[in-house]
Structure 1
Amino acid sequence: MRVAHPRPGALRARLAGASLAVLAQVAPSVAAPPAEGSVQLDEISVESRGGGPVQAARPGAAARAAESPTGPVDGYVATRSATATKTNTRLIETPQSITVIGRQQIDAQNAQTLTQATQYVAGAYAGTFGADTRIDYLTLRGFVVSDYGVYRDGLQLLNYGFGYFRTNAFGLERIEILRGPASVLFGAGSPGGIVNTISKRPTQDPFGSVEVGGGSFGQAYAAFDLGGPADQDGHWFYRLTGYGRQGGTQVDGAPDNSYSIAPALTYKPDGSTKITVLASFQHDTTAVTANFLPYLGTVRPNLSGLRIPRALNVGDAGFNTFQRDQASLGYEFEHVFDDTFAVRQNLRYAFNQSDQNSDIGQLGYSDAAQTRLARYQFRDSAKVNLFQVDNQGEARFSDGFFRHDVLMGLDYKNYQLHDNQASLFPANDLSIVAPVYGGPAGIPTPYLVNADSFQQLGLYLQDQIKITDRLTLLLGGRQDFADNRVRDRLTPANSNGRSDTGTTYRTALIYNFDNGLAPYVSYSTSFQPLIGSDINNQTFRPETGRQVEGGVKFEPPGQGYFLTLAGFDIHRQNVLTANPANTLFQAQLGEVRSTGFEAQLVASLAEGLNVAASYTIYGLTNERGTADAIGKVPVNIPENFANLFADYTIPTGALRGFGFGGGVRYVGRSFADAANLYRVPDSVLFDAQVHYNWDRWRLQVNATNIGDRRYVSSCQAFNSCFYGEARRVLASLSYRW
């Protein structure tokens, strides 16, 4: 049976970035010299799906070749992506809400994690469990996407139980957040959307960079990024990215150390064939920093008028540990036969092993004065093997009436998890006034030793039909075959499994006016098989969902900004909720509806000025569930966000190269209990940065939550609340050549 150990939520189970080749007429292009410090990715031949005249660059910038969907973003305004359609499609022609965060924006914010990099995105809440150094926990449109909805280069990073992968932001070229169901192409993911991270890839032009930095909590890091041709004939290209971080966190005695290396190699024997090998290894040593604390003492003072110190290590400082090793190896292959046909194959094997041993709160206080926290000890060992392959064939042609871009695909994934969980109730309690740490209270008793096996095979078909030069109809369908097996090694008689099939589809229309206005409407469905089993040792039924979305995109030619407005209505069925008979288990009692509105603006308004802003409001309602939850808002999830980030670099004059900027983030209130009796108040946070570029050097200082506001990011239950990130100041110095 699958036990839902209290943790940052119940973590449940894209075209990879190979270049997309020409399948139509060659578009004229004028390649401008790369800006200082920028990286020009090498692409096969010329531009692909969505071809046409090269888009005008932002004011003051030279014209340049069409953007690659896996390459750098010029400023903050991306023009193309392959996440929503698995084809190289212009964002202004994509009938779904999507935000692309490029390397320049990641660097401006000096984001070290996926959580930090996505804090200015519409529909996203990237701090649910505050300063958690074990995982990046994200929600989109009110639904968790950290479990089944995080992808790397179009292939899933499946995070279930405690066997979760973590992404190092330094190794990314771009982050693409697709809102709304994506099952029709990917076969998995929350109806709220997916987050597709794109790895840095080999480059045509040689370059290099080194960077060092440090700041709050004794953190220090060093990184390097090298790439270019590997031979004189122009067939081999390489890239090597490395990163190392060491130091503390806002929790006393809790380290946050991480080391990673990511080599990549591209081979292009000719202009129609390309294969890129992507590999990575990462080692993390940290602790449980997302402390499970009571509502009284965090959101509100407790009975003694006290608040629990934000720096309190609820685990024992001697054995509050979490370690992870993860590695991956895969490739992206593409061959173009002619102007009509192309094939691609993206394959990856990923491995993950983690160990955790710590004392956990979540039991409330052990004394009437509420000065001592009750704790239990938790230990987990998890090992994950994940194999995936995505085969694609694309055909671009005209039937005499309409132009078609047809994508056919067959993908397969095999996920194996060995999970060993143990606990000890109770452990020694802990004073919040004068904590005294000792050794373990005893040896935790295993309550779950499972071998979970999950396989999924999917067939999909999509057609992007140009009914006219302005009107595009998108049709897609998919059939999935899933198999879920749970082998209970503690009680073999409880082993069980099930097989499921699911059909999903998407239909959408978008109309592109000459002035850059593009209204669209779409309907899509989702199908998500779930790993694990309930209190009765029955494997879970798949989740399903459906969404109606309508909106408008606006990208006036040559103006340097992109605005997206979207309204949506999502229904999600078979949602896992805490079992009312025993909250350590889960039950499929839930049905949740999310209805709302989003606005996202990205802009490069003038030379040196970049802006990212968004606003989100939605209503989240339990339509089925326990009696006290029906009609109420699910816990943990704020329903209102607003943020603005701006960065300006002086382009000329005596202060040329000096820049500054900052941001403001508003997070609305949320609830701490199913009956919505206890509220977590809203918060406003401020960020700031200054930087100076000279020659090939860059000096930068970033500060997040600059006022060091003490706030609670969310509460999972009355005794499970989480402090948000404290003020974090980080200085860096980089050199590029």
Structure 2
Amino acid sequence: MFQPSLLSRSVTLAIAGLAGSSAMAEQVAADDQPHSLQLDAVSVTASEGATKTETPFLETPQTVSVISPDDWESQGARSVQQAARYSPGVGTNQVGASNRYDYLILRGFSDGSINNTYLDGLRVMNDGGSYSSFVIDPWFLDRVELVKGPASVLYGQGSPGGLVALSSKQPEFERSGEVRLTTGSHQQGSLAFDLTGPVDDDHAFAYRLTGLASGADGQQDFVKEERYAIAPSITGYLTDDTSLTVLAYLQHEPEGGYHSGLPYEGTVEPRNGQTIDNTFFEGEPGYDRFERDTTLLGYDLEHSFTDNWTVRQKARYLSAEVSLAQVYAYGWANDTELTRYYSGGDEQLQAVTLDNQVQADLRTGPVEHRVLVGVDYQQRDNEVVWSSGVFPNIDAFDPDYGAEPSAMYPAVRNERELRQTGLYLQDQLALGGWHLTVGGRHDWVAINNTNKDTDVVAQLDDTQFSGRAGLVYAFESGVAPYASYSTSFSPSAYTDEGGDLLAPSQGRQIEAGVKVQPTGSQDQYSLSLFRIHQEDLATKLPQESFYRSIGEMRSQGVELEARSQLTDQLKVQASYAYTDVTFEQSEPYREGKTASQVPRHQLNVWADYRFGRGLLEGGEVGLGVRHAADIYADDANTKKVPDYTLLDLTVGYDFGALGANGLTSRVTVNNLLDESYVASCYNSLDFCYFGAERTITAAVSYAF
């Protein structure tokens, strides 16, 4: 069971705290006011997600895509999932127009986001085997990093495809604020604010208060989305060498939108000459609901013993309450009617995460070292009650609502527990232009899933070792070729013949590439080639009712990304990804086949032009193209989802050109041509997801 005392006791572990985050080759000048904690804006030339230290772009031996608020605001993104849609090797249309969860497919692995999301360096303890999942609104974020490939060496269990590292807005000592109003199609509207500044005259403490209230109609009939969130935080120096940040994130979602799929025949292909409308709702207005309340409370504590030795501790308590009732379709009953079932859930999740690190910046002869030693702990307890039933069929082309369930089955009660402790070591070595990163980690993992009605327990008690080695040579011209090898492990939700959970799957990646950042420029270009092999996947053989750890999957491909400020006014972001994901060993129907939902080809281009003079001074226009091709609709590769190309548009204006400093406006249009398309189908031909139709959003912001 959950033990709140862990959070209070964890304070005593501060001596093993988290490391400082200055780049190895740089020294940050001391502030003239020793009690004024200066939180510098993070440049896109550095990232933290891949190394847990702020490492320059050219010195990171791994592909990392960094997304800024300017990116997602100009592109009209309303979620982390949407914010990532112009990045290479990331599938963001897994469930089409649904906004309930932040699903991302990283290098072909669909569990790469919902179970592998981090906020400020700590895992967001989603339970991928249930409905409990935390979603952070982009308004509260300062940066999103997509770390490609295995990252277990620093984070423990995770998808071999990569992780999503979110950074929240932090308190600043310079007073500022922003208020934003939005409206648009689908009855959408929101009010958001963001305030920060010093608490006292001595500038020893600073605060930040960020809030949001938003709502919209879903694309499907009878569906709504509604969210209320607030994030207070305070930071300051306890001594000249000790800083503390305390932060919270509270979110209430009384309406969670749509999350279901429809058969391939009737969506991608006509059903007896008829096609289902992309606004069709197959559920029951009187029964469907999704309500979620989430809380995150935590702190970051840092102490510098000397200029070269720093400790830091991060701790967070998380809780989520989810109430779900959903009537969904599962295949055709006859020529026009869909078979329907009912699924319900009431869940209460509580979790604690703790990360302690010691960092030392050392030198052995001519070699510089950034050594990071850490111990982290993760604990999750989720009490769930799941119910099910049967509903009468519904006509997909002429629906009639108001049906009552034809059968309801007894609820199932489960308790899902996870404990993970990890010990890790990383050394970043620098000698001239050479940069070598090596690391290793040992994990102790315990999982218990208990059926509280039968007392049957499925359990796992395991240890795992993960490692990484990466080498970069950074030329003075700003060209940096690199190569790396990394491993991962990921626990399974399936059980063997004895009823115990299968051993975790193992992942390993070889990656090589080149990064370019011309001297004195913020432009970034990268080319990477990768091959990921995952083994010990859960596989059910014919005539068997249990699973075996005998499956293997291989993902390989090429990713290119360019971010360039071509002129003072014109900025371009472009990416291409080729991703080939194959089941090398699996159930007979899909062995040797390509995984569904993964576009083999993705091409994205976004261009933004800001007028600097003349009658249009203060104006901005942006145009984006997103293309996805060669997507299988099922793992047996019998059908494909048609290729699709989408256009996005933004038009903005800064009224500072007219003397109204701080006042800006923007109109964004996603899917400009209102293309009707199916985004993907999940592993079969029964659950296909319509893509989002045209969405228009108008926003007015005032910054002060």
Please state which band the TM-score falls in when normalised by the shorter chain. Answer: over 0.9
Partner of residue 530 from structure 1, selected from 492, 502, 514: 492
Tell me, yes or no, if structure 1 residue 372 matches structure 2 residue 334.
no
Residues 16 and 406 (structure 1), Cα distance of their counterparts in 2 relative to 1, 3 Å cut: closer
Q: Percent identity?
A: 35
Deviations 1:314-372 (A, max 9, x none): 111222111100000001111111122100101101101111101111x21111x2x11
Q: Which residue of 2 aligns with 1:54?
A: none
Per-residue deviation, 1:671? 1.5
Residue 594 of structure 1: CA displacement? 0.3
In the alignment, the residues of structure 1 paired with residue 252 and residue 117 of structure 2 have an alpha-carbon distance, to the nearest angstrom, of: 19
Residues of 2 paired with 1:19 and 1:252: CA distance? Answer: 50
Per-residue CA deviations over 1:680-703 (Å, capped at 9, x if unaligned) read 111100000100001211110001
Q: More displaced, 513-522 or 398-407?
A: 398-407
Following TM superposition, by how much is the alpha carbon of 1:43 offset from its aligned partner in structure 2, in angstroms?
8.4
Letter in 2 for 1:709: E
Q: Does 1:504 align with 2:505?
A: no
Partner of 2:326: 358
Matched residue type, 1:714: S
The answer as to 2:289 corresponding to 1:343 is no
Letter in 2 for 1:242: G
Q: Aligned equivalents of 1:111 and 1:576: distance in 2?
A: 35
Kindly provide the amino acid, as one letter, of the partner of residue 602 in structure 1: R
1:178 lines up with 2:147 in the alignment: yes
Please give the secondary structure, in 2, of the residue aligned with 1:84.
coil
Cα distance, 1:611 vs structure 2: 2.0
Q: Are positions 1:167 and 2:136 aligned together?
A: yes
One of 348, 352, 356 as aligned partner of 1:383: 348
CA contact (8 A) 1:266 1:277 kept: yes
SS at match of 1:143: coil
Matched, 1:124 2:80: no
Cα distance change of structure 1 residues 92 and 725 upon mapping to structure 2, 3 Å threshold: same
Cα contact 1:287–1:320 (8 A) shared by 2: no
Aligned to 1:20: 21
Amino acid at match of 2:134: F
* Structure 2 SS opposite 1:116: helix
TM superposition shift of 1:133: 2.5
Residue 302 of structure 1: aligned partner:
271
Give runs of aligned pairs for residues 13-412 of structure 1, distance below 5 A: 20=21, 26=27, 68=40, 71-73=41-43, 78-144=44-110, 145-159=112-126, 160=128, 161-287=130-256, 289-303=258-272, 305-361=273-329, 363-367=330-334, 369=335, 371-412=336-377
**2:606 corresponds to 1:628:** no
Instruction: Choose 573-582 or 715-724, whichever is displaced more.
Output: 573-582
TM-superposed deviation, 1:136: 1.1
The amino acid of 2:225's aligned partner reads D
* Residues 251-272 of structure 1 deviation map (CA, whole Å, 9 limit, x = unaligned): 1110000110001110213442
Distance 2:320 2:149 in 1: 28
Deviations 1:683-737 (A, max 9, x none): 1000001000012111100010111111111111111111111111100111110
Contact residue 610 and residue 618 of structure 2 kept, 8 A: yes
The answer to whether the 8 A contact 2:20-2:359 is kept is no
Aligned residue type for 1:723? F
For 2:24 and 2:428, the matched residues in 1 are separated by: 13
Q: Look up the SS of the partner of 1:217 in the other structure.
A: coil
Is 1:675 aligned to 2:636, yes or no? yes
Farther-moved stretch of structure 1 (533-542 vs 161-170)? 533-542
Residue 72 to residue 465, structure 1, CA distance change in 2 (3 Å): closer
Residue identity opposite 1:647 in structure 2: D
Note the C-alpha offset of 1:25: 6.8
Query: Does structure 1 conserve the Cα–Cα contact (< 8 Å) formed by 2:392 and 2:406?
Result: no
* Secondary structure, counterpart of 2:566 in structure 1: strand
**2:695 counterpart of 1:732:** no
Give the C-alpha shift of residue 103 in structure 1.
1.6
Whole-Å Cα distance in 2 between the matches of residues 284 and 401 of structure 1?
55
Distance 1:547 1:182 in 2: 10
Does the Cα contact within 8 Å between 2:18 and 2:358 map onto a contact in 1? no
Q: Structure 1 residues 22 and 556 mapped into 2: Cα distance closer, same or farther (>3 Å)? A: closer
Q: SS in structure 1 opposite 2:71?
A: helix
- Mapping of 1:387-536 within 5 angstroms? 387-425=352-390, 427-442=391-406, 444-446=408-410, 448-466=412-430, 468-492=431-455, 494-531=456-493, 533=495
- Work out whether residues 16 and 154 of structure 1, in 8 Å CA contact, stay in contact via their aligned partners in 2: no
Query: CA-to-partner distance for each residue in 1:392-450, whole Å, 9 max, x for gaps?
Result: 0000111124111100000000011112211113x111112221111431563246321
CA distance in 1, matches of 2:389, 2:639: 29
Shift of 1:574: 2.6
Q: Which of 600, 617, 626 is 2:561 aligned to?
A: 600
- TM-score of the aligned structures, taking structure 2 as reference length: 0.92
Change (3 A) 1:92 1:474: same
C-alpha change, 1:28 and 1:650, in structure 2 (3 Å) is farther
Deviations 1:543-591 (CA, angstroms, capped at 9, x unpaired): 21000000000000123310010000000123346776699x8764531
> The residue matched to 1:435 in structure 2 has which SS?
coil
Distance 1:714 1:686 in 2: 18
Counterpart residue type for residue 379 of structure 1: G
Alpha-carbon separation, structure 2, partners of 1:17 and 1:612: 34
Distance 1:22 1:430, change over 3 A: closer
Given that residues 387 and 414 in structure 1 are in contact (C-alpha distance below 8 angstroms), is that contact kept between their aligned partners in structure 2? yes
- Matching residue's letter, 1:452: R
Alignment correspondent of 1:698: 664
Amino acid aligned to 1:123: G
Change (3 A) 1:532 1:200: farther
Deviations 1:637-679 (A, max 9, x none): 2221110112111122332110101100011122222220111
CA distance, structure 2, for counterparts of residue 578 and residue 636 of structure 1: 21
2:81 is paired with a residue whose SS is: helix
- Per-residue CA deviation, residues 267-292 of structure 1 (Å, 9 max, x unaligned), is 21344221111101111133562332
- Aligned equivalents of 1:619 and 1:24: distance in 2? 37
**Partner secondary structure for residue 722 of structure 1:** strand
The answer as to whether partners of 2:220 and 2:280 remain within 8 angstroms in 1 is: yes
Secondary structure at 2:217 match in 1: coil
Q: Counterpart of 2:658?
A: none
SS in 2 for 1:105: helix
Q: What amino acid maps onto 1:496 in structure 2?
A: A
User: Aligned partners of 2:588 and 2:493: how far apart in 1?
Assistant: 26
264-273 or 137-146, which deviates more: 264-273
Instruction: Please give the alpha-carbon distance, in whole angstroms, between the structure 1 residues aligned to 2:310 and 2:299.
Output: 17
For 1:317, what is the secondary structure of its paired residue? coil
* Bigger mean CA deviation after superposition, 521-530 or 454-463: 521-530
Q: Give 5+ residue unaligned stretches, structure 2.
A: 1-15, 656-660
Number of residue-to-residue matches in the alignment? 678
AA partner of residue 156 (structure 1)? R
- The alignment's C-alpha RMSD in Å is 2.3
Q: Distance between the aligned counterparts of 1:24 and 1:639, measured in 2?
A: 39
> Residues 167, 25 of structure 1: CA spacing in aligned structure 2 closer, same or farther, 3 A cutoff?
closer
- 2:194–2:208 Cα contact (<8 Å) kept: yes
Counterpart-to-counterpart distance in 2, 1:523 and 1:538: 31
Deviations 1:85-140 (A, max 9, x none): 11121111111100111121122123211111000011101110111122011111
Aligned-partner SS, 2:352: strand
Distance 2:151 2:687 in 1: 31
In 1, Cα distance between the equivalents of 2:619 and 2:542? 58
Q: If the length of structure 1 is used for normalisation, what is the TM-score?
A: 0.88
Partner amino acid, structure 1, of 2:665 = L
Bigger mean CA offset, 271-280 vs 549-558: 271-280
List alignment gaps of at least 5 residues for structure 1: 1-14, 32-41, 46-66
Distance 1:183 1:421, change over 3 A: same
Q: 2: distance between equivalents of 1:195 and 1:280?
A: 18
Q: One-letter code of the match for 1:162? A: Y
